Amino acid sequence: MNNVIIKFMKTLVKRIDRNKIDDDIILQAGAILQRGGLVAFPTETVYGLGANALDEEAAKKTYEAKGRPADNPLIVHIAELSYLDKIVADIPKKAIELAAAFWPGPLTMIFEKSSAVPYGTTGGLDTVAVRLPDDEIARALILAGGGYVSAPSANTSGRPSPTSSRHVEEDMDGRVDMILDGGSVDIGVESTIVDMTVTPPMILRPGAVTKGMLEAVIGEVQVDKTLLSECSIEAPKAPGMKYRHYAPKAPLTIVEGDIKDVVRAIKQLAFAMHRQGKTAGIIASSETVSLYTSGIVKNIGTRASQSSIAKNLYKVLREFDEESVDCIYSESFAADGIGRAVMNRLEKAAAHQIIDAAEVVKHQEYRRVVFVSTSDNCRGPVAAELLRNQELLQEYVIESRGMIVLFPEPPNPKAEAIMKSRRMTLEGQEAKAFSAEDLDEDTLVLTMEEPQKWKIITDYEYVRHVYTLGEFIESGEEVPSAHGQPLAEYGKTFELLKGMIIKLADKLNGAAGEK
Ligand code: TXA
Ligand code: MG
C-alpha cells in the first residue's frame, strides 16, 4: 500500500552546513515540529524522521509517513542530559554512567516512562527509548523543536535506513514538511539499543557502541538471545527487530566461510545465474571486487576498516534496488566491533538466508586443467584456448604443457593463422615443459595422444588424473600432430579439437551440476 500513497504535501529540502549552522533554518524547522509537523534530519547514525515526541497526533503522522505498524515504538531524542528527568520515571545509576561515557552518541537506552510521554510514542509500552545524538544539526533542531523529538529512521518501513538526504527524499518526498540535508552520515547503522529496565542491562540491537564498550563501563551486559539465534521462536524485545527490515527488492543471500571459498562460491553462483539468462548482484569488498567476472559487483568498503563497511551498507543495498538484478550474493564480514551490527543488519536484509561457501565449492574435483602435447606450440595451446572460450560452471586455471620443450618457443604460425581465421589467437603463448608440478591433486592432465600419457605415467612417481583427452570424454579419439603438413591439416586438427573440447566442457559442467 505504501507505494500508492498520494503525495499530499510540499516537502522543503534545506541544505545545512554543519560547520556554520543556519539558525533561521533551524528555527523554521523547530516551528514545524512545535506545531505537530514532520522534519527529517541527519544524525551520526542514520537520518531520522522527527516529530514532537510529547504530541500523540504527531506520532500518528510519523507512522503514516513511514507506513510503519503502530506497535513499533519510537526513540525520543533529547539534546541535553537534563531533559531526561521529565520523560523517565527512574534513572538507574548505570544509565548515568553510560550517558557519561557515550552521550552524545550512538547509544539508545530504555527506561520506565513518565506520564509525560504519550503511549502513541511508545507504541503502547510503559517504557521509553531515549537517545542523545552527537550530530550538531540534530541537537540544534531538537532544542528548537521543544526538546523532545521522536525519530525513527527516515525510510519507508521495510526499506534500508537512509544515510544521505537523497535517500530520505526517495522515500519521504511529499510525506514530510521538511528535510534538513546535512550530507552523508558518519556511522551508517542505527544506534545500539540497551534496555536499562532489566538486570543486567540487555542489548536489544547491536550498533557502534559494542558489548565490550558497555561492559568496560558498567560490568555485565546481556544480549537479547533472539539476536543470536536465527531459529529462535521468541519475539525480539525491541518490537522493531521482528520485522523484515532493511530489505532490498531482490532476494539477498549471504555466503559465509573462508574468503577464498567465498569468492569462488559467489563466482560459481553468479555464473550459474548468468547461464540461466539472469543477473546476480554481488556485494564485495575492496580486497575482492576485482576478482568477480560476472554479475553487477559493488564495493561495500575495505575489510581493513569495519566502519567503512558500516557506512556504505545501506547505500549499496539501496543501489541494488535501482539495478535490475534477480538476486544478490553478499560476502560475509567479521562480526566483531561494529561488524556485529553490520552482520545483524545484513542477516535481516537476507531474511537469514545464509549459505556455506565450502558446501558450494566442495563439489569441484579439479581446479586446473593442463593439456599436454609434444612441443606445446600447437595442439595443447589451441585446446586450452578453446576451453577458455567455453561457458564453464566452475572456475578453472587452464594451461598447456609440452613433453619436449627446450626453449620458450612461440606458437606455430599455421596454428595461429587457423586461430585468427576463427577470431581467436594464441598471442602471448610460450611453450612450457611438463613437470612434476603439473601432477597436483586438483589438476586434470589431458594428453593429445596415448604415448604422451604413458610417458608421464612411467616417468613420474605420483601420477593422478592423467588421461588422453579422447579417453576422458569417452570418444577414444587421438589428436594427431599436423606438424609439417599443409594449412588445411591444421584446420582439421582445429575442428577435431573443437568438437572434443565442447564435450569436455559438458563433462566438467555435468560434474559441477551433480550435487
Ligand atoms: O540510530 C538510531 O537509533 C536512529 C536515529 C534516527 O536516531 N533511529 C532509529 O529508530 O533507528 P527506529 O525507529 O528505526 O528504530 C527504533 C528501534 C525499533 O526496533 C523499536 O522497536 C525499538 O527501537 N524501541 C523503541 N522503543 C522501545 C522500547 N520502549 N522498548 C523496546 N524497544 C524499543
Ligand atoms: Mg528503522
Model confidence pLDDT, tens digit, residues 397-450: 999 999 999 999 999 999 999 999 999 999 999 999 999 999 988 899 999 999
- Sign of the torsion angle spanned by Cα atoms 37, 39, 45, 46: positive
Indicate which atom in ligand 1 lies nearest the CA of residue 153: 14
Indicate which atom in ligand 1 lies nearest the CA of residue 189: 1
Ligand located closest to 196 CA: 1
CA dist 297 and 323 (Å) reads: 11
Model confidence pLDDT, tens digit, residues 452-477: 999 999 999 889 899 999 999 999 99
Residue 45 pLDDT greater than 90, yes or no: yes
**Residue of 43, 108, 113, 122 to test ligand 1 pocket, by largest number of atoms within 8 Å of CB:** 108
Cell of 287: 580486497
Indicate which atom in ligand 1 lies nearest the CA of residue 47: 6
Ligand 2 centre distance from Cα of residue 243 (Å): 10
If one counts the domains in the chain, the total is 3
196 and 303 both lie in a single domain: no
- Nearest protein Cα to ligand 1, atom 6: 48
Phi-psi region of 173 (alpha: psi -120 to 50; beta: other; left: phi over 0): beta
432 and 410 both lie in a single domain: yes
160 and 293 both lie in a single domain: no
Q: Tell me, yes or no, whether 228 lies in a domain.
A: no
Residue 240 beta carbon below 6 angstroms from any ligand 1 atom: yes
Residue 75 pLDDT class (50, 70, 90 cuts): very high
CB 315 within 8 A of CB 164: yes
Identity of the amino acid at 192: T
Model confidence pLDDT, tens digit, residues 322-364: 999 999 999 999 999 999 999 999 998 998 789 999 998 887 7
Identity of the amino acid at 202: M
Ligand located closest to 75 CA: 1
Residue 228 pLDDT class (50, 70, 90 cuts): low
> What is the per-residue pLDDT for 231?
46
CB 113 within 8 A of CB 88: yes
CA dist 140 and 200 (Å) reads: 34
302 and 400 both lie in a single domain: no
141 and 62 both lie in a single domain: yes
Helices (H), 323-449: 339-349, 357-361, 379-388, 413-421
Residue % of the chain over a pLDDT of 90: 82
Q: Which residues surround ligand 2, an ion (CB under 5 A)?
A: 153
- Here the CATH number for the domain that contains residue 155 is 3.90.870.10
Ligand 2 centre distance from Cα of residue 66 (Å): 10
- Sign of the torsion angle spanned by Cα atoms 60, 76, 225, 308: positive
Indicate which atom in ligand 1 lies nearest the CA of residue 129: 26
Identity of the amino acid at 63: Y
Identity of the amino acid at 183: G
Ligand 1 centre distance from Cα of residue 143 (Å): 20
Q: Tell me, yes or no, whether 268 lies in a domain.
A: yes
CB 450 within 8 A of CB 478: yes
- Here the CATH number for the domain that contains residue 463 is 3.40.50.2300
% helix, strand, coil for the chain, step of 5: 40, 15, 45
The dihedral over CA atoms of 161, 165, 168, 170, expressed in degrees to the nearest 10, equals -120
Q: Can you tell me which residue has the cell 534538513? A: 180
Compute the residue count for the chain: 515
- Nearest protein Cα to ligand 1, atom 21: 240
22 and 89 both lie in a single domain: yes
Ligand 2 centre distance from Cα of residue 276 (Å): 36
Q: Which strand (E) or helix (H) includes residue 297?
A: strand 296-299
289 and 377 both lie in a single domain: no
> What is the per-residue pLDDT for 8?
72
13 and 141 both lie in a single domain: yes
380 and 435 both lie in a single domain: yes
Residue 233 pLDDT class (50, 70, 90 cuts): low
Model confidence pLDDT, tens digit, residues 239-277: 766 655 667 889 999 999 999 999 999 998 998 888 789
Residue 75 beta carbon below 6 angstroms from any ligand 1 atom: yes
342 and 393 both lie in a single domain: no
**Residue of 39, 137, 193 to test ligand 1 pocket, by largest number of atoms within 8 Å of CB:** 193
Residue 43 beta carbon below 6 angstroms from any ligand 1 atom: yes
Residue 54 beta carbon below 6 angstroms from any ligand 1 atom: no
Residue 50 beta carbon below 6 angstroms from any ligand 1 atom: no
Domain that holds residue 276: 252-361
Q: Tell me, yes or no, whether 272 lies in a domain.
A: yes
211 and 285 both lie in a single domain: no
Ligand located closest to 158 CA: 2
Predicted model pTM: 0.82
